[in-house]
A and B are shown apart, each in its own frame.
Chain A
């Protein structure tokens, strides 16, 4: 609890004790009693009264403080001392609870985003010195010890280690780094000491960018928030005029009808109205829900740039995604090894050794699949035949690895398998041994991601790619994508997205997912632009509305679920609070609910709404 909150708490306790004493002690004189009741009233309500007066001075008439002051003073003028003090007391309890709960969830959310490094280590005269990361200049050498956070983006100049990226991505798959690898701030160094040359200033580093983004997200307000702000602007004055009418009209009508006007009774009902006029429950719980949702999402590696995007995400019906780098890994890998003679390992070894001197992406993927260090002594007489492949002497045997044209030189005409990707045929001493398929592989989670997205309410998943038709359709069929557009130039993607935007209905939102490197125009054109694998890419963070910190397409469905849950809580709060308030207004007008009921309803609804809002933070079971 903060100092301010503690003070309020003590005031509440003191006032409550006074109330109990006044109720128990026998004070015969009515006047003495009423003066004594002013003690707890002033203890607990003096700041409300002060603000009410200041409000009037500044022309803010429909201020909640003013309303509470009028309601309680009014009640005491009518001789209802206990009620007057109690209403003020409960109002303050409610305010205290609200401020405590909000402070608590603010803390929880910042704890989730506990990625901000406090210091950086710099070496001066042989020993380490802790400095403020803000003071480290670009190009300095910093030292990160095991267990510490990397404070600033940079390049490793010395040391190898395992780093944990979970604070950024929500996934705890550690990454190995060595000399000349790029590392980003916010990751935790787990095993060895690293010397890092910084490539950015602290304020431009990934960590600072992310923190800024999450904090600013509540400034982009959602439609529900704007609705409530507007609603609050009319609600309070409306209820006040209702109260005035209730105090004046019925007694007037009764008087004109020749009956006793019962002025006191109607004024009391009107004061009950004032107690219910505060829209606090709504005004606080809605931004709190969005803040919680955004905080919960960022803990799972999903950065949402504004409440408005979190809101729109729940209404997404069309998801357009880029293929390479989004649904597929975007790197070439050996996808299949098909020997006609011998084992898979043998075939891979022949191919990898023959290609060992080449630096072509295909050769690299062969070497990677081979996995072991290549003993170049086994290879000689390497000859690259441009457009065809490679021939070499491996372990004294003539190995040829390449396409059909190369095989034709040996009089072999292997069948070309009907699969997307690049085929490498291998022949040893003129005898065909089989082929390897090298392709851009689909991400392991891509298929479930598409299925989950459909379950989450996406009507159509559309895949765009610059690749050939055959490859595109094979991937689409494998993943269960609804529509494919292949052989597109970057400009075509924008045109296609614009066509889709024009043809859909207003309330159906279109989201675009790309890897963020060359998709910036499309990202900003779509209703919601989602960039993935964007760690460290400034352009993507700039252009996108939602940033997925790791490459996992399954996170899109998770983000939609978080969005749905948050909106669900928001609607529950709006409907619940409005219903209780309306019920109290009606019961109050009919004289069935007094001030006690009104203040309980007001504070109770607020407590429930705030507690409900804090649920948005939890994303574990989604």
Chain B
């Protein structure tokens, strides 16, 4: 399953870091963060609990870029 989220991030490098961090979260098959439209697309593993996975994603992203915002 794929879902798109609106995000807020200040620089393109940071968006890249968020993408890498999100990909490493368990339950995420693939992720793509686009800086310009300020959107993040996450592909979840089969049967994953979306809310729980996204909570982890937010944590992981905050770790690499403290100023980022993900609107769930």
Verify if B41 is at the interface (C-beta below 8 Å from A).
Answer: yes
Q: A106-B36, A216-B41, A287-B36 are in contact. Are A280 and B13 (CB under 8 A)?
A: yes
A539 close to B (CB within 8 Å)? no
A219 touching B36, Cβ below 8 Å: no
Contact residue among B10, B16, B39 (Cβ-Cβ distance under 8 Å from A229): B16
Q: Are the CB atoms of A287 and B37 closer together than 8 Å? A: no
Task: Write the nearest CB–CB distance from B30 to chain A, whole angstroms.
Answer: 10
A284 and B16 CA atoms in complex are apart in Å by: 11
The count of A-to-B residue pairs whose CB atoms sit within 8 angstroms is: 58
The residue in chain B whose Cβ has the minimal distance to the Cβ of A294 is B36
Contact B12 A283, beta carbon cutoff 8 Å: yes
Q: A263-288 toward B: CB 8 Å interface, digit per residue (1/0)? A: 00000000000000001100110011
Q: Are B35 and A215 in contact (CB under 8 A)?
A: no
Chain A interface category by residue count: 20 to 34
B4 CB contacts on chain A under 8 angstroms: 216
A232/B41 in contact, CB under 8 A: no
| B31-60 contact mask (Cβ, 8 Å, vs A): 1 or 0 | 011111111010000000000000000000
In the complex formed, the residue of B with least CB distance to A283 is: B12
Q: How far is the CA of A494 from the CA of B63 in the complex (A)?
A: 49
Nearest CB in chain B to that of A220: its residue: B32
A54 to B41 Cα, complex, angstroms: 26
Residues of A within 8 A of B12 (CB): 280, 283-284, 287
Contacting residues of chain A (196-227) with chain B, CB-CB under 8 angstroms: 215-216, 218-221
Contact check, A219 vs B32: say whether CB atoms are below 8 A apart: yes
Q: Is A64 part of the contact surface with B, judged by Cβ < 8 Å?
A: yes
Residue of B nearest to A99 (CB): B10
Q: Once the chains are docked, how many angstroms separate the CA of A284 from the CA of B4?
A: 22
Please state if A280 and B36 are interface contacts (CB–CB under 8 Å): no
- Per-position binary interface string of chain A over residues 237-252, scored 1 when its CB falls under 8 Å from any chain B CB and 0 otherwise: 0000000000000000
Q: What separation, in Å, do the CA atoms of A484 and B43 have in the docked complex? A: 43
Residues of chain A at the chain B interface (Cβ within 8 Å): 51, 54, 58, 60, 64, 95, 98-99, 102, 106, 215-216, 218-221, 229, 232, 279-280, 283-284, 287-288, 291
CB-defined A-B contacts under 8 Å, sample of 5:
A215-B37, A219-B39, A280-B11, A283-B11, A283-B16
Sample of 13 further A-B pairs with CB below 8 A, known A215-B37, A287-B34: A95-B11, A99-B10, A106-B36, A106-B38, A216-B4, A218-B37, A232-B16, A283-B11, A284-B11, A284-B12, A287-B12, A287-B36, A291-B37
